[in-house]
Structure 1
């Protein structure tokens, strides 16, 4: 099955035109800042008809998906990332027969991804609207329709903001939105640990512990700093991993004596595997809410209770989806702080209704272990799919190097030779790098780091790549001849 049948529809979709003249670095910074301002405006604006309430149960996934429940960006980047996941799976499984090495097919794939993202935005907006408390200002059905339209438009705006950033800004819009949301959470969390801002219990603040005095004042204040210390450590490890790489020497075919090195980073797929994994987990949770209350049984157990169980507050508290979800309490929001959080992980448990087995008691530390392993496996899967569908395989990279006149010294100028050399590194590094980001994200989420461990991991990688892009673009502006030589766009 191909996508050619969709061409008439895809041609009518609005798109952000590529610039006729490449923007300067200052212009790119302006567009990036402008989109960021618009994102924060949408982050703090609530649709007409929504009853504003703070949802702490899905706060973790909201941060990673650049969303805020009840606001215009309730669905965040979820539809965009899910559309990418679905099409990658279809292409990878050959359900959609498409050679992405061809520019025409790649444009068709990107257009189909945009169309699917718009459809998913409408669908998710409808589902989330039914989970919200609505003030029926125009009557119940019409108000819900209005709210759903506003939320869907918010997600569609993010889709086009991403295009603007990709063509006129720095980095990617998806990365920028994630980094913005996480940075806001880190700043507010830091201020909260110091002063108690944001509803953090006074007993978890540095000011309170120091004011109490006594022999335990300083140790208690240091324990209070654990989330901040964890945040710094995760950030440092992420930046260190970003700089691990294998370099393959290259030479210009037309200019003997000139060459360089092609770096294959340890995090070859960057943080995309984790973003895709969390989009998948978010979709599973949404599915769990949709089937909540189904009455048919499987093996003597209600199917909905096997899949997902929600407590009266709407928090995911049991089921299969619970085991693979980061449904852990925020240590700084608990009365008693880190010590109570550790005790909960080690001693508490939940009941899981398993077909043919009945009620099974699952300790919370098993949930933590299951979550980390699941995140690692999902990251490896999506890391592999990402390289296959984004032009990052050994064959794709070999063709790109050949096109700009580069070859490996000491080997014949044949793309197959370059592909053979790259094949020794890229597949292995893809698996190891994807597993590493999944493991680091999962373990970091258990530390109580501000902005969540996964959020810090993603933000560190995003900011590092934005810095590298700014540095390279400035270099190209200073030396246009280098831009032509390297074939940079």
Structure 2
């Protein structure tokens, strides 16, 4: 393995791309320590450290910290991370399914994609302004802004955070063009992994070698369980990320001049987890709102003490079976929704027919589209079931083992799937460069099993 890693740096072009990518990621992390002028970071850290992570607002803050690199504990210019750009991309992607002008742009190839990317940048700016204003208002409510500087600090914070997100967007594009590629995803992964050292230190400080540790401490059995669970979940995430359903494809034989061409058999790979991590992101985002709404309604008059509000407040906590049942149902619903948006069996069947290819035993066109849709519907069920298991693992570990939710979040959920999928993509990119330059890849066969070529 070490000899294969050495081969990576033997290729000058690949070495430059990797070093360039590492340099930009270092700039990305350094920028998180630049504070917004006029904010009292000691007060902010005190307020965030005493926050109840099990409450709806606390869970929302923890989720935001996962994607922004843990910057809600300090007023950073990169406090928004890259998520406004991701949100703008998702909004335009969904609008492309219902708005005809965007749908036509998607069908224009590279020129249309450049125009959509330009619209994405424009939409990112107002999203940054709205989110930065919300964060600055939150900091002001907790006393994180020096007295007498509220307006100027809020204005500087909105402008600075917006500029910070646009700078991160530019860094991602530079990684795509001059680095190893997949820049935006690498920035998100770096933000998630930046929280891991603090989590490891937290576990180490609360660990003990004594059997029968008290609540809040990690004994030998609990530590072994955390390590084994982490390895098991990572292995399962890799398996489901790479899993494919291969549809055999036969190319029709044609006469060109005096030669017979075609007749080659190949396959069409359909991903089992076609929706990727998006169903969990959508479901977890929406599941925050019931608890927040109920919490706010309970503060109005005498509603807080009513039996109905007390029951609803308990039913929509992450430890309740009602919450997890609704969460799982929403993951299944969004998995099918996202697959419907991304996977177009009619267009795929038409493309196969235009290329002179067909599925053996099926007529090209409508019958092929029906078959592809039927297969995708079946395999999406298994992909959604795995996503549901991954999503509820942190809650189960927290409830059954008494592990802190911040620690348990690394045993499953959105962050783990993002890290696994981006890491696999990075390894495949590097391996393709090694094979292209006649070097052995990371695997003995020179190709990662299940990798899409």
Q: TM-score, normalised by structure 1?
A: 0.66
Structure 1 residue 251, shift from structure 2 partner: 4.7
String of CA shifts for 1:257-314, please: whole Å, max 9, x gaps.
64433221211222233234445567x59xx9xxxxxxxxxxxxxxxx744449xxxx
Residue 186 (structure 2) pairs with residue 183 (structure 1): no
Partner of 2:431: 471
String of CA shifts for 1:17-71, please: whole Å, max 9, x gaps.
xxxxxx9544442343233212211233322222223335322431145552122
Structure 1 residue 83, shift from structure 2 partner: 1.8
For structure 2, which runs of at least 5 residues remain unmatched after alignment?
1-11, 50-57, 255-260, 398-404, 440-451
Of 52, 63, 66, the residue aligned with 1:63 is 66
Partner of 1:3: none
Residue 26 (structure 2) pairs with residue 43 (structure 1): no
With over 3 angstroms needed to count, the CA separation of the structure-2 counterparts of 1:50 and 1:167, relative to structure 1, is same
Partners of 1:263 and 1:226 lie apart in 2 by: 36
String of CA shifts for 1:397-416, please: whole Å, max 9, x gaps.
4456567x572463689565
Partners of 1:470 and 1:164 lie apart in 2 by: 18
Asked if structure 1 preserves the Cα contact closer than 8 Å seen for 2:213 and 2:219, the reply is yes
Bigger drift between 424-433 and 34-43 goes to 424-433
Partner of 1:221: 220
Bigger drift between 68-77 and 144-153 goes to 68-77
Bigger drift between 42-51 and 143-152 goes to 42-51
With over 3 angstroms needed to count, the CA separation of the structure-2 counterparts of 1:429 and 1:469, relative to structure 1, is farther
* Partner secondary structure for residue 28 of structure 2: helix
With over 3 angstroms needed to count, the CA separation of the structure-2 counterparts of 1:192 and 1:221, relative to structure 1, is same
Partners of 2:135 and 2:178 lie apart in 1 by: 32
Asked if structure 1 preserves the Cα contact closer than 8 Å seen for 2:273 and 2:383, the reply is yes
Partners of 1:25 and 1:352 lie apart in 2 by: 63
Partner of 1:453: 412
Partner of 2:175: 165
Of 379, 397, 406, the residue aligned with 1:429 is 379
Partners of 1:91 and 1:281 lie apart in 2 by: 25
Structure 1 residue 469, shift from structure 2 partner: 3.0
With over 3 angstroms needed to count, the CA separation of the structure-2 counterparts of 1:31 and 1:124, relative to structure 1, is same
Partner of 2:83: 78
Partners of 1:475 and 1:352 lie apart in 2 by: 66
Asked if structure 2 preserves the Cα contact closer than 8 Å seen for 1:247 and 1:263, the reply is yes
With over 3 angstroms needed to count, the CA separation of the structure-2 counterparts of 1:435 and 1:399, relative to structure 1, is farther
Partners of 1:238 and 1:353 lie apart in 2 by: 41
Q: TM-score, normalised by structure 2?
A: 0.70
Structure 1 residue 121, shift from structure 2 partner: 0.7
Bigger drift between 143-152 and 176-185 goes to 176-185
Partner of 2:241: 242
* Partner secondary structure for residue 246 of structure 1: strand
With over 3 angstroms needed to count, the CA separation of the structure-2 counterparts of 1:90 and 1:66, relative to structure 1, is farther
Asked if structure 2 preserves the Cα contact closer than 8 Å seen for 1:81 and 1:276, the reply is no
Structure 1 residue 238, shift from structure 2 partner: 0.8
With over 3 angstroms needed to count, the CA separation of the structure-2 counterparts of 1:477 and 1:419, relative to structure 1, is farther
With over 3 angstroms needed to count, the CA separation of the structure-2 counterparts of 1:396 and 1:385, relative to structure 1, is farther
With over 3 angstroms needed to count, the CA separation of the structure-2 counterparts of 1:98 and 1:450, relative to structure 1, is closer
Residue 276 (structure 2) pairs with residue 270 (structure 1): yes
Structure 1 residue 241, shift from structure 2 partner: 1.6
Partners of 2:283 and 2:437 lie apart in 1 by: 37
With over 3 angstroms needed to count, the CA separation of the structure-2 counterparts of 1:450 and 1:433, relative to structure 1, is closer
With over 3 angstroms needed to count, the CA separation of the structure-2 counterparts of 1:139 and 1:220, relative to structure 1, is closer
String of CA shifts for 1:219-254, please: whole Å, max 9, x gaps.
932224443333222212211222322112235567
What does 1:331-480 align with in structure 2 at a 5 Å threshold? 353=304, 357-360=308-311, 362-363=313-314, 367-368=318-319, 369-384=321-336, 386-387=338-339, 390=342, 392-398=343-349, 405=355, 407-408=357-358, 410=360, 414=364, 418-430=368-380, 432-447=382-397, 448=405, 449=408, 451=410, 453-454=412-413, 455-476=415-436, 478=438
With over 3 angstroms needed to count, the CA separation of the structure-2 counterparts of 1:385 and 1:306, relative to structure 1, is closer
What does 1:12-31 align with in structure 2 at a 5 Å threshold? 24-31=13-20
Number of aligned residue pairs? 387
Asked if structure 1 preserves the Cα contact closer than 8 Å seen for 2:33 and 2:76, the reply is yes
Asked if structure 1 preserves the Cα contact closer than 8 Å seen for 2:279 and 2:335, the reply is yes
With over 3 angstroms needed to count, the CA separation of the structure-2 counterparts of 1:379 and 1:168, relative to structure 1, is farther
Partners of 2:367 and 2:114 lie apart in 1 by: 29
With over 3 angstroms needed to count, the CA separation of the structure-2 counterparts of 1:376 and 1:281, relative to structure 1, is same
Structure 1 residue 128, shift from structure 2 partner: 0.6
Partners of 1:451 and 1:130 lie apart in 2 by: 30
